[in-house]
Structure 1
């Protein structure tokens, strides 16, 4: 049956379409322009279709080693994902009980979401530079001259940069865990205890399978937030760069569609990770539902 549209339907529909175009239009433009021919430029109109600029990207962009930056970002993203999942789950379990000072601890954790990202990055970078000074002083006091001469800096991918990224991902993970456990039925745990399960067995065989799809989502958030992070990395990375930082630097030096090819590659990695996370989450949910069915 035909139903008459409300008076505000079409204005809202047009506004929503414009919003979607504004949100995803730039990504679509970058993807399209990355497939230009050898004579292509940075703007429309298109000049042929080819994979030329992806081949050029594989050869490198000047002095920038894109492959190394890609692997650094992947390694950091996977490490951040693992830490985010573990710490978020543990924190979520801890906050299920009444904690002395729990409210203060919660606000301390989420405070990094309020602070400007560049300030967080500067603060972490300063902390590690002070740590460098302290370490060098200790080495000097103990007369370890050879170690002092070979010492570089504590700033690095898996030290300061890892900490900077966790200040961004952990609050999101904790908030998701709060939402999960607010809907969690404790009767399942009580039934496990009645059957003689230890706390660890109850968590492993009851709690974890039930929350597993959401935990996969936390892992996806951890990786994707780390994968494209720039501001919190810029002052806390040390003497190497992640892929987003290299991409930011290349925007002022590269004047060919190869930079669009690089942007397309980074988007593909993000979508692959999100697809794997959604697929795994759905698989775990279906498996859990099948186990619960008679």
Structure 2
């Protein structure tokens, strides 16, 4: 014990420790600053020093920020994030199962899928928006050709929260889900499935009672990635959502018009939602791991 206490740090320890501390401060300092400033009193401003401590600006946020309906934008982002999460989980698991076997053209399919990670987000958004506008033109031409005047007058656009925006977000979340599933199944021992089949289990029973519990924590992680990536996305949404806005887009627009700590209160709320989703995901993954190793 005395020998361990007497040991000296390596010469590079403190410089590296200082660099790491500065990195953490750079990474989380802005978020902590926003948290603190959002709890200012009624006389508070956008900078330090802190003028009182209260929930005043959260009450102002609940009342609304000018003509912007924050509640509606919040609900749209939650709904879109939930749908993106569901699609990301299901498609990633199915693709992971499919890629366990040799598929013709699987390499090309994989590179096409992950290519969206290296393309500029705004270009993807513009491309999806253009595709749906061309689709609008085609639909209107067909309606005009069949003389469906009523439908033509009532038709707006195919751009929307669960059409173009959903597709744009999936180009961002699906590659992450696929990469996680490929890594999981690369380490997966097929002996478990063979043992289940030897005991008379059907393919569905093997998946439900053997494969699914083992990959459950990873599926939870994919769901967390799907929701949080969608919840914070701006660039891929900007040109592909149509005539409504998600919460990040509203927040981006408010930064140039709102000059009170209400904008910090909104940032705090959105960050807390992300942290809660991550906490629930980590807790669920830990619970699934504990159940998987528990003796029966």
Shorter-chain TM-score range: over 0.9
1:233-271 CA distance string (max 9 Å, x none): 000000000000000000000000000000000001001
Which residue in the other structure is 2:216 paired with?
212
Structure 1 position 88, deviation (Å): 0.2
Which residue in the other structure is 1:114 paired with?
118
Please state whether the residue corresponding to 1:158 is helix, strand or coil.
coil
1:161 aligns with 2:137: no
1:42 aligns with 2:46: yes
Please state whether the residue corresponding to 2:50 is helix, strand or coil.
coil
1:48-100 CA distance string (max 9 Å, x none): 00000000000000000000000000000000000000000000001100110
In the alignment of these two chains, the number of paired residues is 292
1:25 aligns with 2:29: yes
1:202 aligns with 2:206: yes
- Distance in structure 2 (CA, Å) of the matches to 1:132 and 1:181: 41
1:182 aligns with 2:180: no
1:28-48 CA distance string (max 9 Å, x none): 000000000000000000100
- Distance in structure 2 (CA, Å) of the matches to 1:198 and 1:109: 31
Structure 1 position 199, deviation (Å): 1.2
> What's the TM-score once normalised by structure 2's chain length?
0.98
Is there any run of 5+ residues in structure 1 with no aligned partner, and where? none
1:227 aligns with 2:231: yes
Which residue in the other structure is 2:87 paired with?
83
1:119-138 correspondence runs (5 A) = 119-138=123-142
Please state whether the residue corresponding to 2:273 is helix, strand or coil.
helix
1:259 aligns with 2:273: no
Root mean square deviation, CA, Å? 0.6
Farther-moved stretch of structure 1 (196-205 vs 162-171): 196-205
1:56 aligns with 2:42: no
- Distance in structure 2 (CA, Å) of the matches to 1:171 and 1:158: 19
- Distance in structure 1 (CA, Å) of the matches to 2:190 and 2:13: 44
- Distance in structure 2 (CA, Å) of the matches to 1:37 and 1:66: 21
- Distance in structure 2 (CA, Å) of the matches to 1:193 and 1:138: 53
Of 272, 287, 292 in structure 2, the residue corresponding to residue 288 of structure 1 is 292
Is there any run of 5+ residues in structure 2 with no aligned partner, and where? none
Of 236, 241, 245 in structure 1, the residue corresponding to residue 240 of structure 2 is 236
Which residue in the other structure is 1:10 paired with?
14
Of 139, 146, 153 in structure 2, the residue corresponding to residue 149 of structure 1 is 153
1:277 aligns with 2:249: no
Following TM superposition, the consecutive aligned residue runs of length 4 or more in structure 1 with deviations greater than 2 angstroms are none
Which residue in the other structure is 2:98 paired with?
94
> What's the TM-score once normalised by structure 1's chain length?
0.99
